[in-house]
């Protein structure tokens, strides 16, 4: 018997959006200076970070010029992603954000975690030291949010993959649904890895 070509529908998709900020070198240089000044005055907090410095979650309220510029760019990215993937967002919902800075010296990493209560989570990459000896140094790894895929895991396809690892470039930004658990491999270099992470959610006007 003959049959038609199958109608393929992707169930439960998990998007990962990548933005590249053009002309980011000057912004990143300004951020590095401002962050160094903050670290000299602020103790920092511990969340998923291990051995690194984590600022308070006030990125979107900071007055420093580079911080404020980055916050504006991140708001625009969040808006772009939402318009593309949530086109029917109710008109009485507005976006709220929080963000923080991570500085990861040698051997620092972020333990596996997710961001409950948010809709989007993301990370902007300010300084990403590269290592030819260890390609996983400072890499971010996303873990499959579904249940066990059992023996299907021996077949490598996008719908059986249990993790996705990426080495982002400076000036780029990843954005993903906040329920996706992720972690960051240890920094194997003597140079600091510097990032700005953030969450976004929706609230009634």
Q: What are the tens digits of pLDDT across the range 19-50?
A: 999 999 999 999 999 999 999 999 999 999 99
Residue-wise pLDDT for 98-115, tens only, equals: 999 999 999 999 999 999
Q: What was the pLDDT predicted at 153?
A: 61
The 8-class DSSP code of residue 179 comes to T
Is the residue at 1 inside a domain? Answer: no
> Would the pTM of this model clear 0.85, i.e. be above it?
yes
Q: For residue 121, is it within any domain?
A: yes
Kindly report which listed range (58-67, 79-88, 156-165, 180-189) carries the lowest average pLDDT score.
Answer: 156-165
Report yes or no on 129 lying in a domain: yes
Tell whether 77 is covered by a domain: yes
The pLDDT of residue 146 is: 87
Q: CA–CA distance from 17 to each of 14, 37, 84, 103, 177 (Å)? A: 10, 31, 11, 23, 10
In this prediction, residue 151 has a pLDDT band, given cuts at 50, 70 and 90, of low
In a domain, 7, yes or no: no
The answer to whether residue 155 sits within a structural domain is: yes
4 assigned to some structural domain: no
Determine how many CB atoms are found less than 10 A away from the CB of residue 151: 8
Is pLDDT of 154 > 90? no
Q: Is residue 99 part of a domain?
A: yes
In angstroms, the CA 126 to CA 169 distance is 9
pLDDT at 56: 98
Range of the domain at 58: 17-204
Identify the CATH number of the domain in which residue 37 sits: 2.60.120.620
Q: List the alpha helices (DSSP H) in 64-124.
A: 65-85
Domain count, the chain: 1
Averaged pLDDT, 161-186: 96
């Amino acid at each position: 018997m003959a049959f038609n070509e199958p109608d393929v529908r992707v169930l439960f998709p998990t998007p990962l959006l990548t933005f590249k900020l053009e002309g980011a070198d000057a912004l990143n240089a300004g951020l590095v200076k401002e962050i160094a000044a903050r670290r000299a005055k602020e103790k920092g907090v511990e969340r998923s970070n291990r051995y690194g410095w984590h600022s308070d979650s006030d990125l979107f309220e900071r007055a420093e010029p580079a911080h404020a510029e980055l916050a504006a760019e991140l708001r625009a990215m969040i808006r772009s992603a939402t318009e593309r993937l949530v086109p029917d967002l109710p008109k009485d919902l507005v976006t709220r954000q929080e963000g923080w800075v991570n500085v990861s010296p040698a051997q620092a990493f972020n333990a596996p975690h997710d961001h409950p209560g948010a809709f989007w989570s993301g990370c902007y990459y300010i300084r990403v030291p590269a290592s030819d000896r260890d390609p996983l140094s400072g890499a971010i790894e996303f873990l499959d949010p579904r249940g066990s895929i059992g023996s299907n895991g021996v077949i490598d396809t996008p719908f059986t993959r249990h993790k996705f690892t990426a080495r982002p470039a400076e000036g780029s930004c990843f954005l993903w649904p906040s329920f996706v658990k992720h972690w960051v491999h240890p920094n194997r270099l003597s140079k600091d890895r510097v990032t700005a992470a953030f969450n976004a959610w929706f609230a009634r006007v």
